[in-house]
Structure 1
Amino acid sequence: MGKTTLLDHVESQAARCRVARITGVESELDLPFAALHQLCAPMLASAGTLPPPQQHALDVTFGHAGGAAPDRLVLGLAVLGLFAEAAAEQPLVCLIDDAQWLDTASRQVLGFVARRLLGESVLLVFAIREPNPDTLLAGLPALAVGGLDDADARALLTAATPGLLDARVLDRIVAETRGNPLALLELSRSGRAELLGGFALPAVGADALQDRYEQRVRALPGPTRRLLLLAAADPTGDATLLWRAAQGIGLGPQMAAPAQEAQLVEIGRSVRFRHPLVRTAAYTAGSVEERRAVHHALAAALDGGNDRQRRVWHLAAAAAGPDDGLAAELADVARGVESRGGIAAAAALLRRSAELTTDPRLGAERTLSAARAHLDAGDFASTLGLLARAEACAVDELQVARIDLLRGLTDRAAHSGREAPAALLRAARRLQSLDGRLARHTFLDAWGAALVAGGLAFLESDLAAVSVAAREAPPAPGETTAADHLLDGLAALITEGAAAAHPILREAVTGFVDDDVPRAQWLHCGVLVANAALSLWDYDRWEAANARHVELARAGGALAPLANALNVRRVIALWRGDVAHARELGTEEATVKQVTGTRRASYGDLFLLAYQGHAEEALPLLAKAAEEAAARGEGLGLYFTDRATALLHLGLGHYAEAAAAAGRAATGDLGPFTAQALPDLIEAAVRSGAIPVAEAALVRLGAYTAGSDQDWATGLRARSRALLSSGEEADRSYAEAVDRLGRTRLTFELARTRLVYGEWLRRGRRRSDARRHLKQAFEEFTRMGADGFAERARHELLATGEKVRKRTADTVGELTPQEEHIARMAKCGRTNAEIGAELYISARTVEWHLSRVFGKLGISSRKELRHTLIHPSNRTC
């Protein structure tokens, strides 16, 4: 299409800039960070100025130091800082051609960096062959390069092809190429007979273009073709390696001349094919035996120590048949690659290892390992293909059952809907007689999947069915673990009720939070542990469990679990009234989703919409979120949109609408979540006159909180009872609710309780008492940005005769959440580097944000910032 020519033009216009240019290579897709290393290698001399954690991340990633795989966010920040340092003296222009062939790890990091280029003198330009559905580069400004229009295409082809062109051929070529300038130029060079005489009209397009290149390659002398094949087999474009390998098979530099004269390749300090399709054509033109020979030559030319991974990869490509020694070495290399975060590369290596293994049992095991690695890498199609292969060669029932398990996990990861619980339940039952411990873990997977599917799950695999099956599965022989208690407690919560489940769940939560549970179990069960604490109405344990989950996910760079953990963390922050922190966490959550390509609704975002109380903006977004959740088969997503919708309407005083939404959220049994919707339903039903509905909901709330002495549970129960009472009984219950919730950190629920208490007092003509509660509620809602509830409280205050000013936009609204956070950290004395390290941005970007903050606040220095009110907050530095 001419994208490479456009990059050439960009490079020609960047005379006063430092230019770094790379090209993606299809054969290098499975080598983690290969493209990133190629781009960053010339700049690594500047890495010494970065913070030590970032330096270490680069060293480990590029093999200069040992250690665990670095946090992908820290690595992204390190590359951002490296680019910023490289651009300190001269603007930096990075040109990345054929971005569709960059390895996944490099695309993740470069996409992360590209979305954060704000204050740096850095330009990244990606050129990609087709519109890219991949989310890793999503959000970047894009320019679609279309074909030339008919007039320009004819002019180009006519100018490039001397002679009288056949008008019919010209018309058809222009139509078939759709104005592709590169195809037109290639046809002008190689299809002159067709254009001039009209005797043949070859198919054109990417495949036809590659065929033409292949014809030109095959026309070269034999030694030149072998040299091109050797260059095509090496994805690095390392000219030194090329000549070293060429010498091993008797080829010299003079063999390159015919290919260079034909303008197919340039060999200088590096190897550059004229077009990526030339590389593909050069490789395709070689016979199977010739390809094996050049891979052997490249392996022999590589250092087995520093380049072991690439050497083994070439040896595997050269293998003519099964080779158990090479298969074992591939498996060993895969483990090392995976430990450095190269899951996709490990998957490819394990796949080849399985293909080279002669022992059927070991081959099936390696195929299953490869399938699991592809699943973790998000390549679901390859996972299912490998599972089909594993099924064909499985040698025992346990391997067959594990295949079922991986199929279920793949469906859960790919769709997160109603199919996953059924598949995982079948796998768990099959594993019971084969591997009790794995079966119990699979029941936990099935329970979590059924919770997510909620009311959209199939009846035979809904939460009740999974819970019954799990209760019938005995613990595996040996010590009973915290995970065993977790499964038994969650299952009992559905089958026997809260009173029976709470003791078991309390033991499970204590085991996870207080004992030394392995990190892998935390990452596997962290969300369910938090849900267990939630079902106990234990706010402190809910927060502690989630904090541990977030900490371990961050430390290990486990970004998929981190996205889930941050989602929960934001809801926790909102319930304690810390909206500013919830927004800050949202920035991190969004960053993690961008890096991983995760597509999942954020429950924190839904509740923020409800808090803000702007119906015209919120309702369409909530409706869209509900539609997407239903399409995914995600009943839990529907629950959260209903909860948020109910809260939105409660804040606005739309009680009938709130009752309808809360009623939907309270339908069925979603364990810890159903109970949370009942207080909203009771308030909305009472206010809309549906007293029988409220009374039934109060009975259900009593059952869910049975045996709990937690202030959260008793406070909500007392508030709900007060709404349905009158006289002294109502007064006592409201006072108890305020007292109980006042002992917790549930600021939002306390403010809601003061609001309904104040409303009741005003209607009883106790205006002085009403003002006290309503004023406190108004101040809390205003502080946390719950505008809908704040406005409701303000109207009640006005009705008591209190003069209260309507909340207007002020400095708080002028600063973005990111700017608020950065300003607050700077006010506390944090340096730009320290702020950048925590927020995954460069120090220069922090400086850019602060300049905007100073302008908005009308100040000019950090010193003045210390005396400026940024945002009311009860959190310290």
Structure 2
Amino acid sequence: MESLLEREHELAAVNDLLERQGAVLIVQGGAGIGKSALLDAACRRAAGLGREVVRARGSELEAPFAFGVVRQLFERRLAGAAVREREALLTGPAAAAQPLLLGEPDEQSASDTSFAVLHGLYWLVANLADLRPLVITVDDAHWADEASLRWLAYLAARLEGLALALLVACRPSAAARTDPSLETLLAEARVVVRPALLSEGAVGTLVSAALGGDASNELCEGVWAASGGNPLYVVELLRAAAYQNRPLPDLDPAALLAGGRDGVARLVLARVRALGQSALRLGQALAVLGDECELRHAATIAGVGMADAARLAAGLVRIEVLAGDDPPCFLHPIVRDAIEASLSSDEREAAHRSAARLLYADGASPGEVAVHLVGLRPAGDSWVLGRLREAARAAMRSGAPGAAADLLRRALSEPPAYERRVEILRETARAEASTGREIACVHLEEALSASTDPRERAAIALEVAEAYAALFRWVDAFDVIERALVELGDADGALAARLEGELVVCGLHDARRASRVGAVLERLSSRVLTGSPAEALAVARGMAMVLGGRPAQEAAAPLEEALSRADARAENWDTRAALLWSLVAAERFDAVETALEPMLAEVHRSGSARGLVATYSTLGLLKLRVGALPEADAGARIALRVLQEGDFAPGLAFAATVLAEVAVEAGELEEAQALLALLPQDGWPPGVGTVLIPAARGRLRLAQSRWAEALADFQMCAAMFSPEVWGMEMRDVGYLHARAGAAQALLLLGDREQARATAQAELADVRTFGAPRALGIALRVAGLAQGGERGLELLAESVAILGESPALLERAHSLAALGAALRRAGRRASAREPLAEALDLAARCGARPLATRAREDLRATGARPRRPLRTGIEALTTSELRVARLAAAGRTNREIAHELYVTLKTVEGHLSRAYTKLAVEGRPQLAQVLEGEKSRVPTL
């Protein structure tokens, strides 16, 4: 690899990265230290190795331009690709990146597509790396836009297994703006190299080379002392001597470089001024427009003709201010900064205004126009306001709601005319809500205060409520709607129905407002409703009946009616999620499975983050309830990833509790503990989401033999779920099974009498509810608590009831409990059949602790179970089993990765371990091994 002075360690690290790939290298250092030179050397080395290289550079000017760095990396590459290659690169999830990079927005896409775009860009890179090993370099990342940095951090965490090397250069955080994504990049880096200042010897080598021979020690020491060993400062000093036609020994290095960067700026400006005032004006225009601008635009701003501009640009290249003139590009950001700093604030302002209008007239993208407007002094300019709003809409379509919110906040400061202010406040809040920012509610409340029209205020109130609901602040959502309904009165019946529909759903999510829902439900029930109000009413009715423990068939009726009318594209994903979860609680598993298929297709097409969370968290819960643990883990894990990438922390409970319960059933107790640690440990208000936390924690503590703590958790559930807290009929029969958990804990603590009473109370309520899975669980726990012959009867009834349900894991639990009870009663021969079936089902569901208990009990009857735990299907983790099943079904590794939102390396790892544990060598044998379990696996 080429030689750079005193950069042997850094070049070796670069070379190692290019050989290994699948990793990140960060070059961190101050301005002028040689970061760009190292990246240039890396690119030349990569090209020599036959790698494809894509490059980008952050700039202060373009920092507001959403995905500006990403566009630099891939726009030209895609635009220049042949049609077939482009289609191949944008296949699968990568299609979500197409509107961003090819300027083909999908007007049907959702407003919250940021996760889909991040994921799509990752797969675009994976597809590129499949064609040819890829090297991505990003210089001056400390100036990169937020959306691009977020994607780079997302990519960096998923590089393993890709033929890709990522090199990023940035300044130390103390010397530049800090960004959480940049900090994540630093944490993900395999190596961080920090080039040191050059030694006196290295500076002497540069000076001697410039003089064409030996330089005096005194001169070399003077240059070194003045430059501080900064390579750029040394080079600028040498250029000053060359362009001033003065011998270097005659110069005073300390005087020329006084002030460090200020000294460099003086040297640069002196060279430019030597070319004349027109050269300076052109350089200033180029500095305003930024690298790779159109020279004709710079000529217009500078007030020179095109022929003169070409001549002057060539002169700027000759004096090493520009690195090139086609397109124009400054030699270094410090050089550009020096030229721009020569403008007065008024001149700079006028130049940026001119640039924005020129670019707009030339058809530039809204984002490219807006970068020249965000730094202007607010002046109430309607044209500026319009361009900022256009850029914000473009940023939203490209999956960068954070950038859109920044642009709209700048628009608000312009300021807009009063009649436009409410509109822009609403647009700002929508963008902020898509990022999980609570400030969204503040802006909507401001819009609500600014509006005087009752209908407009009601419509804004609905948006405020939806923003609060997106943050799971159900009480605030309820209160806003309640006030809006009072104000609206009879002015707009259709709008009032929408508000009331949202009101009842919000009220049922949080116990602090649930008592007010009944009257609204009664009022709505007398009306003929359509659309979203009808769906919300049906959901609220069914949800209230499920929470109240009414018969499952009765509770499911309005829910199934709502589902039959529901379009795959939900108007409100919070309402849709409540519908689906209520149907799962009512054990309408087939209906939910059928409904999810088009909904999943829709959210994949639209890229809606809220839709992904609603559908995949429901899929996780559904599969957990029927005992398909690998599928449950896969679905809920996708929801969790989307929530974490989108900073929607309040919604984690719905996904994390499902994952924790899957981990408990699979025997992965440390994983369950880690998942529950993501959630608040106490102090939460009672609600349908928060009550899941102590329930899941109680089941984990049962598995950990922490029985007293488990009992306390289940008692907390019961207290949070009580009618006294909710102010309405509440009965936990198909949602939490907290009383069943409490009875198990009591039994293990030796309090059989209290366990029996608790279990019998649950059983009585669940018999009214009537759903087979819930009834099977209640019968099993009651049988265990009862003991004796009556206990055996209850356990046998549980097994029989669960035979009517697809909930095979619960059937396995009941079979194991029945077999163990028969063995303890001395009926070893009778115990073998239920224990053998329990072992078989538990192994196929992925429930390893249950399989272990069933095997031990089966051995105690004198039987010989066929398979040890360390090999075979039951030895697979939930993730390994899920991947193995997809592979056996004919999916390629890439298709599996697409479906599960994981990397190819993750799929390969799971599949390799599955092959080892199952003692197979490939997919054909894998399919044969798994074939025998298909008929009994709970796949619905």
Smaller-chain TM-score bracket = 0.7 to 0.9
User: Corresponding residue for 2:100?
Assistant: 61
Asked whether the equivalents of residues 465 and 480 of structure 2 are also in contact (C-alpha less than 8 Å), the reply is yes
Q: Structure 1 residues 829 and 551 mapped into 2: Cα distance closer, same or farther (>3 Å)?
A: closer
User: Corresponding residue for 2:324?
Assistant: 267
Q: Does the residue aligned with 2:719 lie in a helix, a strand or coil?
A: coil
Q: How far apart, in 2, do the equivalents of 1:776 and 1:720 lie? A: 19
Q: How far apart, in 1, do the equivalents of 2:911 and 2:659 lie? A: 26
- Look up the equivalent residue of 1:93 and give its one-letter code: V
Q: Does the residue aligned with 1:519 lie in a helix, a strand or coil?
A: coil
Q: How does 1:568-607 map to 2 (within 5 A)?
A: 568-585=618-635, 588-589=638-639, 592=642, 596=646, 600=652, 602-607=656-661
Q: 2:86 aligns with which of 47, 51, 56?
A: 47
Asked whether the equivalents of residues 794 and 806 of structure 1 are also in contact (C-alpha less than 8 Å), the reply is no
Q: How far apart, in 2, do the equivalents of 1:394 and 1:646 lie? A: 48
| Gapped regions of structure 1 (runs ≥ 5) | 452-462
Q: How far apart, in 2, do the equivalents of 1:171 and 1:214 lie? A: 18
Q: CA deviation at 1:756?
A: 2.1
User: Corresponding residue for 2:25?
Assistant: none
Q: CA deviation at 1:752?
A: 1.5
Q: 1:797 aligns with which of 858, 867, 875?
A: 858
Q: 1:498 aligns with which of 546, 549, 574?
A: 549
Q: 1:238 aligns with which of 293, 312, 328?
A: 293
Q: Structure 1 residues 543 and 88 mapped into 2: Cα distance closer, same or farther (>3 Å)?
A: closer
Q: How does 1:237-386 map to 2 (within 5 A)?
A: 237-239=292-294, 242=297, 245-246=300-301, 250=305, 252-256=309-313, 260=317, 263-276=320-333, 279=336, 283=340, 285-299=342-356, 301-302=358-359, 307-310=364-367, 313=370, 321-324=379-382, 327-328=385-386, 331=389, 334-335=392-393, 338-351=396-409, 353-355=411-413, 358-378=416-436, 380=438, 383=440, 386=443
User: Corresponding residue for 2:578?
Assistant: 528
User: Corresponding residue for 1:662?
Assistant: 714
Q: CA deviation at 1:795?
A: 3.1
Q: Does the residue aligned with 2:180 lie in a helix, a strand or coil?
A: coil
Asked whether the equivalents of residues 783 and 795 of structure 2 are also in contact (C-alpha less than 8 Å), the reply is yes
Is residue 95 of structure 1 aligned with residue 137 of structure 2?
yes
The alignment's TM-score, normalised by the length of structure 1, stands at 0.79
Asked whether the equivalents of residues 74 and 840 of structure 1 are also in contact (C-alpha less than 8 Å), the reply is no
Q: 2:776 aligns with which of 709, 715, 719?
A: 715
| Gapped regions of structure 2 (runs ≥ 5) | 1-28, 208-215, 241-247, 489-495, 723-729
Q: Does the residue aligned with 1:267 lie in a helix, a strand or coil?
A: strand
User: Corresponding residue for 2:727?
Assistant: none
Instruction: Give CA-to-partner distance per residue, 1:659-700, whole Å, 9 cap, x none.
Output: 344334443218768642222222332343324543553465
- Look up the equivalent residue of 2:285 and give its one-letter code: L
Q: How far apart, in 1, do the equivalents of 2:538 and 2:169 lie? A: 53
Q: CA deviation at 1:854?
A: 7.0
User: Corresponding residue for 1:466?
Assistant: 513
- Look up the equivalent residue of 1:430 and give its one-letter code: R
The alignment yields a C-alpha RMSD, in angstroms, of 5.1
- Look up the equivalent residue of 1:294 and give its one-letter code: A
Asked whether the equivalents of residues 7 and 95 of structure 1 are also in contact (C-alpha less than 8 Å), the reply is yes
User: Corresponding residue for 1:510?
Assistant: 560
Q: CA deviation at 1:745?
A: 1.1
Q: CA deviation at 1:11?
A: 2.3
Deviates more, 1:158-167 or 1:73-82: 158-167
Instruction: Give CA-to-partner distance per residue, 1:173-201, whole Å, 9 cap, x none.
Output: 98xxxx998799999999x99x9889999
Q: How far apart, in 2, do the equivalents of 1:857 and 1:118 lie? A: 25
Asked whether the equivalents of residues 611 and 788 of structure 1 are also in contact (C-alpha less than 8 Å), the reply is yes
- Look up the equivalent residue of 1:31 and give its one-letter code: F
User: Corresponding residue for 1:458?
Assistant: none
Identity %: 24
Q: How far apart, in 2, do the equivalents of 1:100 and 1:110 lie? A: 12
Q: How far apart, in 1, do the equivalents of 2:674 and 2:255 lie? A: 58
Instruction: Give CA-to-partner distance per residue, 1:26-59, whole Å, 9 cap, x none.
Output: 4434434433232123432131444755685554
Q: CA deviation at 1:755?
A: 2.1
Instruction: Give CA-to-partner distance per residue, 1:737-793, whole Å, 9 cap, x none.
Output: 212111111112111112222233233323222222222222222332322222222
Q: Structure 1 residues 410 and 148 mapped into 2: Cα distance closer, same or farther (>3 Å)?
A: farther
User: Corresponding residue for 2:536?
Assistant: 483
Q: Structure 1 residues 241 and 663 mapped into 2: Cα distance closer, same or farther (>3 Å)?
A: farther
Q: How does 1:443-462 map to 2 (within 5 A)?
A: 443=503, 446-447=506-507, 451=509
User: Corresponding residue for 2:54?
Assistant: 20
Q: 1:680 aligns with which of 741, 748, 771?
A: 741
Q: 1:434 aligns with which of 484, 487, 490?
A: 487
Q: 2:699 aligns with which of 642, 647, 657?
A: 647
Is residue 140 of structure 1 aligned with residue 188 of structure 2?
yes
Q: How far apart, in 2, do the equivalents of 1:861 and 1:735 lie? A: 41
Q: CA deviation at 1:364?
A: 2.0
- Look up the equivalent residue of 2:827 and give its one-letter code: R
Q: How far apart, in 2, do the equivalents of 1:9 and 1:224 lie? A: 31
Asked whether the equivalents of residues 622 and 641 of structure 1 are also in contact (C-alpha less than 8 Å), the reply is no
Deviates more, 1:854-863 or 1:594-603: 854-863
Q: How far apart, in 2, do the equivalents of 1:444 and 1:180 lie? A: 66
Instruction: Give CA-to-partner distance per residue, 1:683-738, whole Å, 9 cap, x none.
Output: 33234332454355346535764742322233233334333435554344322221
Q: How far apart, in 2, do the equivalents of 1:813 and 1:98 lie? A: 50
- Look up the equivalent residue of 1:230 and give its one-letter code: A
Asked whether the equivalents of residues 695 and 736 of structure 2 are also in contact (C-alpha less than 8 Å), the reply is no
Q: How far apart, in 1, do the equivalents of 2:929 and 2:778 lie? A: 42
Instruction: Give CA-to-partner distance per residue, 1:248-276, whole Å, 9 cap, x none.
Output: 66571344467656755423333434444
Q: Structure 1 residues 618 and 82 mapped into 2: Cα distance closer, same or farther (>3 Å)?
A: closer
Is residue 4 of structure 1 aligned with residue 36 of structure 2?
yes
User: Corresponding residue for 2:3?
Assistant: none
Q: CA deviation at 1:376?
A: 1.1
Instruction: Give CA-to-partner distance per residue, 1:280-315, whole Å, 9 cap, x none.
Output: 565565345434543454445447585352575378
Asked whether the equivalents of residues 886 and 896 of structure 2 are also in contact (C-alpha less than 8 Å), the reply is yes
Q: CA deviation at 1:574?
A: 2.6
Q: Structure 1 residues 580 and 640 mapped into 2: Cα distance closer, same or farther (>3 Å)?
A: same
Q: Does the residue aligned with 2:864 lie in a helix, a strand or coil?
A: coil
Q: How far apart, in 2, do the equivalents of 1:283 and 1:270 lie? A: 18
- Look up the equivalent residue of 2:632 and give its one-letter code: A
Q: 1:227 aligns with which of 279, 282, 295?
A: 282
Asked whether the equivalents of residues 465 and 481 of structure 2 are also in contact (C-alpha less than 8 Å), the reply is no
Kindly tell me the number of residue pairs found equivalent between the two proteins.
Answer: 841
Instruction: Give CA-to-partner distance per residue, 1:461-492, whole Å, 9 cap, x none.
Output: xx332112334557678725120233355467
The alignment's TM-score, normalised by the length of structure 2, stands at 0.74
Instruction: Give CA-to-partner distance per residue, 1:582-629, whole Å, 9 cap, x none.
Output: 3443664465457546654622331233123355x3575367346x54
Q: Structure 1 residues 300 and 379 mapped into 2: Cα distance closer, same or farther (>3 Å)?
A: same
